[in-house]
Structure 1
Amino acid sequence: MCSRYLGFILLVWFPGALHAQSAAQPCPAPSLDRGYFVPVQGTYSHDSKLTYACESPLKPAVEGWWAGSVCQNGTWSPTPRCIEETACIPPTIANAKYTEASDGRYKDGDIIRITCDKGYEHKANVATARCRNGTWVSLPTCEISIKSCKAPPKAPHAVIIDQGYKELFPEDAGVKYKCEDGYSIEGSHNYTLFCQAGIWTDGPMCSKETGRGGSAEAGTSGGHSTSSGRGTQPGGGGGGGSGPDIGLGGSADAGTVGGHSTSSGRGTQPGHGGSSSTSANRPLLTTIEHCGTHPIVPNGVVVEEQRMYLKFKCQAFYKQVGEGTVTCFSDGSWSEVPVCEEAFCVLKPGYYDRSSKVSVAMYINEGEMKHIPCVWRDWSVAVRCFNRTITHTRCCHRDDHYWRYCT
């Protein structure tokens, strides 16, 4: 009697154990059309395994002529299935995704389109694959984009927050840093770096916060400095009255002896025996709206506008010299813009080979060839633009065995 009550109490205390036992459901024997499997049983317990094969001309819906499946809580995984030999199974493509067939197979001639994960791009611009006689033809691959960034840089006295560890960051991704206790950046404890064209933007440095009694990095003795670098109270027993613009015995630019320094190097209230140092402020990359009006590239147009950059492309008959991606700096200036140089020839009106006449000026791209009709039908002159110079052949007929010299 006592043991019966004890069992009841255990079930009340541990309902999860009873649920876990009931959740692991057995699997019925798989329905495998034109296939066979071992071992043959009526039901299979959870985690049981079986092996199957298919009758010719069918094949398993996985790689190889035989396959395995595992009973997982009442369901076979993967589902045992026999498909046509000319069908394709879902391909495995790293760092990519695509719409998978509902029945786990693709018919001969089916085409799939691959979408690369963020931070990756299609190698050789190949994005589709075709199932041909049971094999995928020209299966795409996704490689790391040249615009992506590897792990962000290590920053002294700061740690990355709100980010799980990743080895790759797509373009325009941002990582937020937080200064450790006792350090800040002009009154703030957080700042963000962005991945821009494969490079992380420059960031500020977390500096020791200043306070009464001196600063380790601002270099004062007994005085305060604010985010603008202006001293407030005198140190070393001085009164509250106003003092000279520079420290006693110090210099306005270096701010070394007896005064406080600011980011511009100007001392304020006098101190006693303190020293300070300044650091050059390098412009940082920022959003393009900070720079205002877009820069002008003669014979070039903006083909892409993102939060952190503009991308230019030269118009027809011009070639680009320099980087097409333009960014904005925190001082309001733009990075160097590309130059669009002429890359064409002008075929002037007139006769060529005395039998081919050009009525109006014709523009030809660098490296391009055009055929100018001669007075006779199916005869033409081949005109080329090379090093911005026009060259041309004689009139040739398409059936002439010398035609290869006219192309």
Structure 2
Amino acid sequence: MCARYLGFVLLIWFAGVTHAQNENVCRAPVLDGGYYVPEKETYFLKEELTYACDSGRKPVVEGWWATSRCEDGNWVHKPQCIDQNACLPPTIPHGKYDKAEDGWYKKQDSIFVQCDDGYERKDNRRPRCRSGTWSPLPVCERKRDSCSEPPKISHAVIIHQYKEVFSAGSEVQYECEEGYTREGNNIFCERGQWTAGPTCNESSADQGPPASDADVQPEGGDRRGSGAGSGKQPEVEGMGRGQHDPAVSGGQPSGGGRGTTGHQGGSSSTSDSNNRDSRPMLVNIQSCGARPNIEHAAVMEEGPMYLKYQCNGFYKLAGPDTVNCYGDGSWSKLPTCEDAFCVVDPARYAGYGLAAAQPEYMREGEEKHFSCTARDRYIYVRCANRRIYLGICCTGYEFQYYRPCYELRGPF
């Protein structure tokens, strides 16, 4: 009797162990129209396989070959070979659309694109899948009356999900950390600018007398990220609002200051009769009015006396990333955002074998494979220094063993 009971317990235990092991392994995928390596019956957790597709088909992700990984008994992603005329989900910056259940779209399928809050479409045409590519893909542009991320306020957080852009009329609410009390109202996005925000003050401690003009710090004082105390002279910026010096700014106009009287870099270093520096005084950024609007950039950090900018993904910053407000109501030297991308134009590169498709953007330093006009061949493309470099059209087999496939020509 005891032996029978012990055998029953062991059977249950063995079944449980087997079930737990099965949760961490994956069975070999069923891949219609393709092949994969290594070929095994089962794969352990985190183990990967690589697959490619037969002629007339392509993987369900970008590229002519793909890699999938075993995660908790399932393949991520699921290996699939689809018709070469089918389309993969497009990437539309600041846009969204209904996703296909299978992860891909059949030939002649169309999608409806809706732009994110604060963005609008340049045209209303619906993208359609044609011969494996989308034509045309819409562009979601930021609305002129939308606002960048709300200003940072000390000892406060925003009770909203993070967004880079807010549409006109948006309301944002701040909540102070424990021990601080909010004074002031919620802020609103009006004509591309945020209204004045609240402050968070200590609830019970004596704050002392308010700051006077004598408390305003000169350049080189307490300023985060600005090289405080370096003793360097500020740049001489004598240009009025709306003016620019091509020899200094590269021919690009800079932003303006407050209202109609502010100007960028309006203050300069001088010396008094005692030969002492009379540097531009740095004051609270509220004294300069509206924030400088720098094309392709957004304010990523804000302090009482500075703004810190960052360019969007396809651009790089040129000039100082930190901007200060001077005592005369002008802003210090503003940065600009330079192009950091390439445009792969099939009409221009068709002579090198690149297949006809719509133009595509590549980030600086990005490398990709594009289809060639010859069937089942691909070309290696790199974006460097805003110029396109091209390989030669090769088959999938040649990319593995034929070195010239990766030898680039250019720039073009």
Return the structure number with greater relative CO, CA threshold 8 A, min gap 6. Answer: 2
* TM norm. shorter chain > 0.5: no
TM class by shorter chain equals: 0.3 to 0.5
Q: TM-score, normalised by structure 2?
A: 0.41
Structure with greater Cα Rg:
1
Q: TM-score, normalised by structure 1?
A: 0.41
